[in-house]
Amino acid sequence: MCNVCDEKGLSRRKLIMAGAGLLAAAPFGGPALAQPVSAASDPDAALKRLVEGNARYASNQPRERDFSAERANRAKGQAPFAAILGCADSRVAPELAFDQNPGDLFVVRVAGNFVTTDGLGSLEYGAAVLGTKLILVLGHTSCGAIDATVTALQKGNKLPGHIADLVRAMKPGVEPALKQPGDDLQLRAVIANVKHNVERLKNSKPILAGMIAKKQLGVAGGVYDIATGKVTLV
């Protein structure tokens, strides 16, 4: 191998090792260096910002924005003020529903908006490294994953492929709704599932529970109404 190639290879290895060192050294208790400042100072401020944004969206009065104007700044880093654990449903778009810009929300989505191991790791990263002040578990009306879980629990039907895994994972959150009185089982199940996953996140140790205890992070739940666009906190 020529000396020039050897030097290039060594330089590349040094660069990779330096990058890994910077990542390891990034502060794990707050936003990384050289990132934009979070748009909310605490969990209450973050929730207020989401509520106000949803009110604008539901009334069809979103803020005017130039998406190209801030692209250069966003390339420098991110500092989302809130994280959303939402459903994969194509009709529910958190950035639109809360009238927020790219870079404002750290979004994790899975059909049925429940906590998974990978999703939890992402939410931990959002809170501990990126500095999110709030995690909102967002369910929604007319949720197919909820309907499938309710039907499976009632009738014991088998679902194909890995869809059955979704139902098994959602069972602990949805099952209590079947024991409650009332006609609107679907909505009760949506709310029960949201509340169950809010509690899971609140008690998730060591990162989330520790940050919540220090009032650095909040966890809330909400239900998005597909017909109106309104989010109701639950």
pLDDT tens, N- to C-terminus, the chain (234 residues): 444 344 444 343 443 334 334 333 344 444 443 456 777 999 999 999 999 999 999 999 999 888 888 888 889 999 999 999 999 999 999 999 999 999 999 999 999 999 999 999 999 999 999 999 999 999 999 999 999 999 999 998 888 999 999 999 999 999 999 998 888 999 999 999 999 999 999 999 999 999 999 999 999 999 999 999 999 999
- The angle that helices 144-155 and 185-202 make with each other, rounded to 10 degrees, is 100
| Cα–Cα distances in angstroms (integers) from residue 116 to residues 112, 138, 164, 190, in the given order | 11, 15, 15, 17
- What is the gyration radius of the CA atoms in the chain, in angstroms? 21
Distance CA 57, CA 77 (A): 27
Q: Which residues pair with 220 in a beta bridge?
A: 136
Distance CA 229, CA 60 (A): 9
Distance CA 207, CA 205 (A): 5
Please name the residues in contact with 67: beta carbons below 8 A apart, sequence gap of 6 or more.
101, 102
E strands in 161-209: none
| Cα–Cα distances in angstroms (integers) from residue 224 to residues 41, 52, 121, 153, 154, in the given order | 25, 14, 24, 24, 25
Q: Note the pLDDT of residue 38.
A: 74
Task: Return the number of other C-beta atoms located less than 10 Å from residue 12's C-beta.
Answer: 10
Task: Return the number of other C-beta atoms located less than 10 Å from residue 74's C-beta.
Answer: 14
Closest by Cα among 156, 139, 60, 153 to 99: 60
Whether the CA torsion 170, 175, 180, 186 is positive or negative: it is positive
Task: Return the number of other C-beta atoms located less than 10 Å from residue 66's C-beta.
Answer: 7
